[in-house]
A and B are shown apart, each in its own frame.
Chain A
Amino acid sequence: MAEPLRKEDPIDLIEDPLLDPEPATERPLRWIGTPFRRVDGRAKVTGTTKFADDLTFPRMCHVKLVRSRIPHGTIRSIDFSAAEKIPGYLGCLTGADTPIPFGILPVSMDEHALCPDRVRFVGDPVAAVAATTEDAAYEAALAVIVEYDSLPTIASVEQAISTPEPRIHDYGDDGNLHKKVSMRFGDVEAGFAAADRIFEDLFFYEGNTHLPMEQHATVAVPEDDDRVTVWSSTQTPHYLHRALAKVLGLPASRIRVIACSNGGGFGGKSDPFNHEIVAAKMALILGRPAKIVLHREEVFYCHRGRHPVTMRLKTGVTKEGKITAHHLETALDGGAYGSYGVASTYYTGALETVTYDMPAYQFDGIRAFTNKPPCGPKRGHGTPQPRFGLEVQLDKIAVALGQNPADLRLQMLVAPESITANWLQLHSVSLDRCIEAVVTGSGYRERWGNLPEGRGLGLACGSYLCGAGLPIYWNHMPQSGVQLKIDRSGCVAVFCGEAEIGQGSDSVLAGIVAEVLGVDLSDLRLCVADTDLTPVDLGSYSSRVTLMMGNAALQAAERARDLIAKAVGDQLEVPADRLVFAERRVFDASDPSNPEKGLTFQDAVIAAEARFGTLGTVGSYIPPRSPGKYRGAGVGPSPTYSYSASVVEVEVDPQTGLWRPVHVWIAHDIGRALNPVLAIGQVEGGVYMGLGEVMMEEQAFRRLPRHLSNALVHKFPSMLEYKSPTFLDMPPVTTYLIEDPDPQGPYGAKEVGQGPLLPILPAVANAIYDAVGARVDQVPIHPHMVLKALDAKKKGGEPRYGPKSFPEVDFGETLIVPTPAQGGNGTAINEFRSKLRSGMRGVATGTMSTRDEALRQKKALTTKLEDR
């Protein structure tokens, strides 16, 4: 077995004749803005990238989880006697071995690696067995006999409301309601009173799952002195590190987590998982490496995918189409555990305000516990559902007001650098350019409403975070750190805790460092996602890596450049600020013809190492402080926001209700594309996933007849029956990267991984309306739904298919937050009372110093060190 440390293969030279870097204007950038081959590209096409299941170690054993077969109940007994007889059996674990609870959010540490007494869904792990082979481990797991006493089960939000007892968990805001949120920004009542028209609509967004091609896998290797190294397919090695320390009861310094390249994540590998903890525990107990690889059905039980959400939207508009007030209610079916659910609940309301001017806004949300696999963050985390509702409702408003939906949106856009009603600080906003691009590209203004029956165009927009403003657990430390080690070899070693999940974060890291230091990508060695060796980065979630890690990398590289420049400047007797780092050289920019006035990069490093001693620099990033200070204000803030607009053309067969996307035009306000070909890959991937969700994907469950069975099972936990689009189902996509560099991002870059999914679903629904005049207010849009809506239309009814009611629920006391326009200060006027029953205390306090303050402090410190 080769040394399993990642990134040991030399990075490709990018001198590729196929790629023709576009000449830039001012000072030419070698890497930034060019479609360079991703740094892990060669490894991925040669099959040498090491995914977690590709690792193997001497004496490695295999572990399988025994999962609950009942949806809710208590464990009466676990019998391993038959399993023990299987040749190769090595040992077992039960809940008694892992009694300490964990969970991704500090407010909902409600999971156990193995259930100690209660199971809460079919698939909940109750025991683990280890054996010398995977065959034997699977046979042994099947042979374990678990007896249960069943408890009543809850399958929906409505049942959770009507069944407060028995509780699935002994915590939460109300019975089986995990979370209740209610907040009002501005004078909503007055806004509705001032409206010329009020629109009320109900929507439903079915749950769906990430379906990464790689099934989760973990290998744990025990070392001497109670240490353990855990390789895992995780997007968040740092959070896994914390969970392992907590549950294993070991100091974090004795646990090393290495995130292998993820074979797809999409949010589905962002929680610390049962199997990761079990592998580590088993390895420590047995004293030998332990591997656990989930099979596909288990991946559906890990889940943490899109919450099913029922929504009620009420929007007041003037006859010109200005929004006067907006009220959003969401009901989330959370599944059996907390996961990211509290954040997901807030996220269904938080980004409602960042695209269109909304002077008054009310958000009410609940998340219910149900006896199904827990939901969590999937691409867009909590925001695709309300975005679907809002964008479809705007389409209805445009039709009702006789306006073109593009023009309706264009006249209500938020202003750049403004603060929203719910106190989110916006920066660059190029949504207008996004809309114009897709509208012009698709001929929307001329063709919308004018296509033959069965053909239609739909427009929708979206916006997403460039990283969550606050970390998941409250702290004052950076969200991302990058460390450089440069020595006389000329090699630049780059250390960062970021996790490559396929999105290209390694290439962003390498591209920025190589750009600043003027070296080739092959001069770099990356060491990432290793909690022992790399500075903390919180992980690949919330579209945070490009902006946060990128800024940290920029800072570390600029500090290294400045050190080297100082040494070279002194040696060449040239002012340091005249030196340019490019083409693997450091030279006097004003005198490029004189080779005496420059050094190779390696010689420049030698000069610096001689002058300052061993060279190393660090960079870190802390997001700016958000102006919102009310409870719950911790969810939604971001250093800046990306924007997207899409037009989708569909073909609908009114006889069958079958429809298909014909073409997608998408424009994404990316700030600046650090690597355009990789950015387009993210856009197209987001479009694909959005289409999958609106066309076919659903994480659906079924009960059996209650008088015969207590079963509540996933309908089809397989790749065959959980439908995801194939090569033949994907329409052509025209992608516009809208560049408007945002000072918040490295080289002006904003996120691209999640935002482009958001407009796709509502654009499709709006296009189907344009094609046949039927509204399907839920996703996925199955053909029978289109047909039902058309049937209703024929019978003179409302041409609509969708939910007919919103759950009757008390959202609790409403937090009253005056808006910036009302002269508010970001706090709620009834905060004190509410704080007494706060669920998100601390998360919302926003006490971190601003980035500028942090930079000033660190600059002073660095200067001191340099002067020493």
Chain B
Amino acid sequence: MPPGWTSLIFDVNGESRAAIFPTHHTLLEVLREELALPGTKHGCELGECGTCAVLVDGRPILSCLALAADMKGKKIETVEGLQNGNTLHPLQQTMADLGAAQCGYCTPGILMTAKALLTENPSPTDGEIRAALAGNLCRCTGYHKIVEAIEGAAALLRGEDWVAPREVLYGAVEPGREG
């Protein structure tokens, strides 16, 4: 390897993928530019927005502040690996159904962070969801639809029936027009 370059076989979404890249390149850059996985987005590249979150050994980290060269032997998961075949992960399903992805740009980072949360805590409260997602900024949604989608996905993952509450889909009933 010439000086300043690294070659590595990545374990990404359960697949082995090789890349040769400048050693100072971040995981974010290598995922998007060398491994053809542009699903991971970026909003600041300084660790301030959470957009580029991916899972490394099951934990959410910010790929903009991780060197790709440090990923030897680590298990990387990105949004591209979330669905099972052509079936959406429950988080993807509920996020899509509730319009919790508006522009969709923060969505990959939020999905991966939420996935790690639900693995660790299958029945998170509203507060626990917000605390776990507190490093992921979103400018479109006001966050509520995302929290509702995560709650729904948690129920589905627990094997429970879940139907979006009426208020989530249609809004609160206008006073005086109930029934």
Contact = CB atoms under 8 A, between A and B. Distances in A.
Contact of A45 (B45, B88, B174, B175): B88
Contacts of A263: 41, 103-105
Interface in A146-177: none
A736 interface: yes
Contact of A687 (B32, B142, B170, B171): B142
Contacts of A440: 175-176
A46 B101 CA distance: 11
A500 B83 CA distance: 24
A677 B98 contact: yes
Given A688-B142, A720-B48, A37 B97 contact: yes
B103 A261 contact: yes
A737 B66 CA distance: 44
Interface string B102-123: 1111111001000000000000
Nearest to B49: A719
A215 B103 CA distance: 13
Nearest to B105: A263
Greatest chain B CB density within 10 A among A214, A266, A689, A734 is at A214
Contact of B163 (A18, A47, A683, A732): A18
Given A19-B97, A730-B143, A296 B43 contact: yes
Contacts of B82: 46
B134 interface: yes
Interface stretch (A94-102, A122-130, A501-509, A515-523): A501-509
A45 B111 contact: yes
Nearest to A678: B99
A283 to B, nearest CB: 19
Given A46-B88, A689-B139, A18 B162 contact: yes
Contacts of B95: 41, 45
A730 B144 CA distance: 8
B145 A262 contact: no
B141 interface: yes
Interface string B146-177: 11000010000000001110001111111110
Contacts of B143: 688, 727, 730
A433 interface: yes
Contacts of A501: 103
Interface string A26-40: 000000000101101
A667 B174 contact: yes
A675 B99 CA distance: 10
Interface string A481-508: 0000000000000000000011110000
A213 B138 contact: yes
Given A214-B105, A738-B174, A718 B137 contact: no
A605 B137 CA distance: 47
Contacts of A679: 171
A51 B41 contact: yes
Interface residues of B, number: 72
Contacts of B12: none
Given A18-B163, A47-B79, A264-B103, A213 B41 contact: yes
Given A46-B92, A263-B41, A436 B103 contact: no
A727 B140 contact: no
A40 B107 CA distance: 13
B40 interface: yes
Contacts of A295: 45
Greatest chain A CB density within 10 A among B91, B105, B142 is at B142
A437 B96 contact: no
B104 A735 contact: no
B96 A45 contact: yes
A681 B106 contact: no
Nearest to B33: A56
A18 B97 contact: yes
Given A45-B101, A213-B137, A436 B78 contact: no
A212 B44 CA distance: 11
Contacts of A12: 96
A387 B163 CA distance: 39
A47 B144 contact: no
B118 to A, nearest CB: 15
A86 to B, nearest CB: 14
B69 interface: no
Contacts of B83: 46
A295 B48 CA distance: 13
Given A18-B164, A135-B22, A46 B39 contact: yes
A369 to B, nearest CB: 29
Nearest to A503: B102
A502 B44 contact: no
A143 interface: no
A781 to B, nearest CB: 19
Nearest to B111: A45
B63 interface: no
Contact of B80 (A44, A47, A689, A727): A47
A685 B140 contact: yes
A737 B171 CA distance: 6
A719 B137 contact: yes
Contacts of B88: 42, 45-46
Interface string A164-207: 00000000000000000000000000000000000000000000
Interface of B: 22, 32-33, 37-46, 48-49, 51, 78-80, 82-83, 88, 91-108, 111, 129-131, 133-147, 152, 162-164, 168-176
Q: Considering the complex of A and B, which 6 residue pairs feature the smallest CB-CB distances, nearest first?
A: A47-B39, A502-B103, A44-B104, A263-B105, A688-B142, A41-B96
15 contacts: A18-B94, A35-B170, A45-B101, A51-B41, A53-B38, A214-B43, A261-B103, A264-B103, A296-B44, A296-B46, A502-B102, A680-B168, A724-B139, A735-B172, A737-B171
